[in-house]
Chain A
Amino acid sequence: MSAALDIALCALILGVGLATVVGRGVFRAVIFFITYGLLLAIGWARLGAIDVALAEAAISAGLTGALLLAAQGRLRTMKTEAEPPARARLPAALAGLSVACVLGWAWFALPVDQAPDLSQVLPESGVGNPVTAVLLNFRAWDTLLESVVLLTALVGVWMLAQDADWDAALGPRFHARPNGVLANFGRILPPIGLIFGVYLVWAGADDTGGAFQGGTVLAAVILLAMMAGALQPPSVAHPVWRVGLVLGPLVFVLAGIAGALLSDGFLTLPLTIAKPAILTIEAALSLSIAATLALLVIGPPDDQGQDA
């Protein structure tokens, strides 16, 4: 019975993945991709990887869907040819296939027996959630660089703005009918999402959750409030938002330098202060992740409110 469930889930995931790439029409592919993320989240949940399932659910339901649908709508209003040319299909398929093969090979080549036993070293990390322990302590370098990558991506998106629009607020001018369904929804949901996002960050030290999951939920509710017209997107120069964007990487780097001065080296956290340090870094990091992801989806400043 349990096997039948797994087989059905795998069949759905593969089928939706296939439908995403072979079907004609950008809109259909986008919708299939949204459901693909949902099925992946169920798959991770089935495997017991709750933190990954949570991140996948928050990113696919909250951010990618809205981003891709906005992109599709923009392509349509710009009357751009949305279908890729036929001659691009074969190279794209080959490139995708080779990436899949390399990933598959890497998976089988993993040295399973050499992997360190996390349960043995977990007490040295200061936190109880093994995912948080790896992300914020044992592999803190990766996480620090990832947070900088996010920031760099946002700057890259801003570079797409036209000179005349630079001082305008980010993204299109969102508006909604006052007291309409959308405007009310944009006022009711964000407070609930705010509590849930903060809970995820706080609980992430010892339970399911963490800075990335909480930050993504916060980003989604910020995005929703902006799309519903309840919160105006800032301009590029907005001081509070700028501080929010760099706070996470900044606190992380400062903590790393403190580790180099007071402890064994850059980004090493002595056990006595590991937990408060990790919670501080996570709090700052989730603020920055929330602001960065939300503004990435909102896009560059666009004064005309539509295609330029």
Chain B
Amino acid sequence: MTVWLHLVALVLLGSLGGALWRVWRGPSQADRMMAAQLTGTGGVAVLIVLAALQDWSLLIVAVALALLAAVAAVGFAKSQSPDGAGDPEEIKPAGDWSDLNASEAGDG
């Protein structure tokens, strides 16, 4: 079991590294932000596995990470609004829809 849990943590770290490639590449800010979000979830998973491997009290760190996982993304959404203090849901999306549908149809 110990060997398997080490392997699980290793694969999770590898998956985290893959997400970091997207942070580097972008291209949009939303891409980088969501990749950071995936590393956050992966980090929570790694901590859970480490808790089983080493010490169950590590779970408290995973709780803290999961609890605060969205704070950075909320800050991101704020900073993207025109006055830096709003909510992206307050704005009607502009002409991005057609573009989005086209690219989904093309690759779906």
Do A and B touch each other in the complex, judged by CB within 8 A?
yes
Q: A173-B85, A305-B85 are known contacts. Are A65 and B67 too (CB-CB below 8 A)?
A: no
Is chain B's interface secondary structure helix, strand, loop, or mixed overall? Answer: helix
A72, B23: Cβ atoms closer than 8 Å: no
Q: How far in angstroms is the closest Cβ of chain B from A292?
A: 17
Q: A35-B23, A66-B75 are known contacts. Are A57 and B61 too (CB-CB below 8 A)?
A: yes
Which of B17, B64, B80 is within 8 Å of A73, CB to CB? B80
Which of A12, A172, A174 is within 8 Å of B20, CB to CB? A12
A48, B32: Cβ atoms closer than 8 Å: no
Q: With a CB–CB cut-off of 8 A, which chain A residues contact B86?
A: 174-176
* B28-41 to A contact mask, C-beta < 8 Å, 1/0: 01001101100110
Interface segment, one of A37-45, A151-159, A252-260, A282-290: A37-45
Q: Does B24 contact A (CB under 8 A)?
A: yes
Expressed in whole angstroms, the Cα–Cα distance for A171 and B83 within the complex equals 12
Q: How far in angstroms is the closest Cβ of chain B from A40?
A: 10
A50, B14: Cβ atoms closer than 8 Å: no
A46, B50: Cβ atoms closer than 8 Å: yes
Question: Which of chain A's residues has its CB closest to B88's CB?
Answer: A182
Q: Does B7 contact A (CB under 8 A)?
A: yes
Q: How extensive is the interface on chain B, given as a class?
A: 35 or more
Q: With a CB–CB cut-off of 8 A, which chain A residues contact B46?
A: 42
Q: Does A261 contact B (CB under 8 A)?
A: no
Is chain A's interface secondary structure helix, strand, loop, or mixed overall? Answer: helix
Q: Does B52 contact A (CB under 8 A)?
A: no
Q: With a CB–CB cut-off of 8 A, which chain A residues contact B2?
A: 1
A72, B13: Cβ atoms closer than 8 Å: no
Q: How many A-B residue pairs have CB under 8 A?
A: 188
B79, A72: Cβ atoms closer than 8 Å: yes
A306, B47: Cβ atoms closer than 8 Å: no
A70, B75: Cβ atoms closer than 8 Å: yes
B74, A58: Cβ atoms closer than 8 Å: no
- Most chain A Cβ neighbours within 10 Å, of B13, B17, B68, B90: B68
Q: With a CB–CB cut-off of 8 A, which chain B residues contact A34?
A: 36, 72
A42, B50: Cβ atoms closer than 8 Å: yes
Q: Does B107 contact A (CB under 8 A)?
A: no
B61, A35: Cβ atoms closer than 8 Å: no
Expressed in whole angstroms, the Cα–Cα distance for A228 and B90 within the complex equals 12
Expressed in whole angstroms, the Cα–Cα distance for A15 and B39 within the complex equals 14
A45-B54, A189-B67 given; 9 more Cβ-contact pairs under 8 Å = A4-B10, A12-B17, A15-B17, A35-B20, A38-B39, A45-B58, A48-B55, A175-B90, A305-B84
Residues of A within 8 A of B (CB): 1-2, 4-5, 8-9, 12, 15-16, 19, 23, 27-28, 31-32, 34-35, 38-39, 41-42, 45-46, 48, 50, 53-54, 57-58, 61-63, 65-67, 69-70, 72-74, 76-77, 171-177, 180-183, 185-186, 189, 192-193, 196, 200, 207-209, 213, 217, 220, 223-224, 227-229, 305-307
